[in-house]
Amino acid sequence: MTFKTTTRPSKLRLFTSGLLLIVLLPSLVWADPGGNQSADESQFAFARHLFQHHDYFRAITEFKRYLFLYPSGAKADEADYLLGEALVQTKSPKEAIVQWEGALKRNPSTSFKDEIQFKIGKALWELGQEDRALSQWENIINEGLSSSSKATASRAVLWGLIKQKKYDQARLKLKTFPLTASEQGIHETYFQKAEQLPLKSPITAGTLAALLPGAGHWYLDRHQDALIAFSINGLFIWGAVSSFQQGNTGLGVLLSFIELAWYSGNIYSAVNTAHKINRKQETDFLEGYGIRFGLFSSTPTAPGLYMVWQHNF
């Protein structure tokens, strides 16, 4: 009896092996991508990953974990900086200031010194401590580690002084700041624009509204509001007068009280609208000024790009 050999089993084994290789190849390639990282590097990488994906609350926990486990780690300075930035992003500027000031005490010569001082100034400004913020930025101008950080701090100081309407002081500072002559000329142009903003007078608006309902809004170029105020007040005045003429004293008194409320509201609205118009004019101008010199951005920044200022004012 003769037996035939067949290659089917070997082909099956070959096919199975190939299929397993195809299935397992991705896992073999991508398995343990951080296998060459040390424990402290992996911890920092995870914290930074959370920060970059805007998971700030978890990033805060992981940066704190890194600093607790590896206070002298290679990434300790950067972790200190990013922890403060994450606190800012979670609307905790006071905690961020404490964090950054502690970082500077732990390592006064940190390479992130300028970044930290700039961000402390920004946090102080957001807390309403504007003079302290300006002083913080001037420290960078006097003691900064790089010419670029000094220049950007100079721009922040000038922006802050213009926001405070301290035009003369801004001009004096401009002459001493480390900025090119051409840039100084651009700043001076912005100073002049700030002084000549087409602002409305709340006193004038209120006075006109008191003399003639709707006139204050007309002065503010709110013509539709002016017509509404004039019409409503006119109707109530006409109704009250007509009621008294017809001997309907009760209705006349009621309509008079209602008209008094509308009349007062017309004055208040004119004054308040003038203030709103002025605030918008100033806000738009300052935002344009900040954008022109790279002070504002809508996203948090990584180290090395710290002088781009997130606008939360």
106-123 pLDDT per residue, tens: 999 899 999 999 999 999
Q: Is residue 109 part of a domain?
A: yes
Same structural domain for residues 51 and 159? yes
Give the residue numbers spanning the domain of 174.
39-195
Low-confidence winner among 1-15, 80-94, 297-311 (lowest mean pLDDT): 297-311
140-178 pLDDT, tens digit each: 999 888 889 999 999 999 999 999 999 999 999 999 999
Q: What is the DSSP letter of 310?
A: B
Q: What is the predicted pLDDT for the residue at 4? A: 45
Same structural domain for residues 191 and 74? yes
Structure tokens at 283: 């806000």
> Ranked by mean pLDDT, which of 80-84, 258-262, 287-291 comes out on top?
80-84
> CB under 8 Å to 215, separation ≥6 — which residues?
208, 209, 226, 230
- Mean pLDDT, rounded, for 216-227: 92
Coil, helix or strand at residue 77:
helix
End-to-end C-alpha distance for the chain, whole angstroms = 97
Name the packing angle between helices 181-195 and 249-292 (round to 10°). Answer: 170
Query: Residue 243: enclosing H or E segment and its boundaries?
Result: helix 223-245
Higher pLDDT, 38 or 59: 59
Q: Is residue 34 part of a domain?
A: no
Q: What is the rounded CA–CA span in Å between residue 68 and residue 83?
A: 13
Q: What is the predicted pLDDT for the residue at 97? A: 95
Q: What is the rounded CA–CA span in Å between residue 214 and residue 235?
A: 13
Domain's final residue, options 163, 179, 195: 195
Same structural domain for residues 172 and 218? no
Q: Is residue 251 part of a domain?
A: yes
Domain's final residue, options 173, 195, 217: 195
Which phi-psi region, left, alpha or beta, contains residue 210 (left: φ > 0; alpha: ψ -120 to 50)? alpha
Q: Is residue 308 part of a domain?
A: no
Confidence label for 293 from pLDDT (cuts 50, 70 and 90) = confident
User: Residue with structure tokens 């809004």?
Assistant: 217
Q: What is the predicted pLDDT for the residue at 28? A: 37
Same structural domain for residues 136 and 248? no
* pTM assigned to the model: 0.71
Same structural domain for residues 234 and 95? no
Q: Residue 2 above 90 pLDDT?
A: no
Same structural domain for residues 149 and 226? no
Q: What is the rounded CA–CA span in Å between residue 24 and residue 295?
A: 50
Q: Residue 138 above 50 pLDDT?
A: yes
Structural domains in the chain (count): 2
Q: What is the rounded CA–CA span in Å between residue 43 and residue 65?
A: 8
CB 40 within 8 A of CB 47: no
Q: Is residue 113 part of a domain?
A: yes
Q: Residue 59 above 90 pLDDT?
A: yes
Q: What is the rounded CA–CA span in Å between residue 160 and residue 126?
A: 12
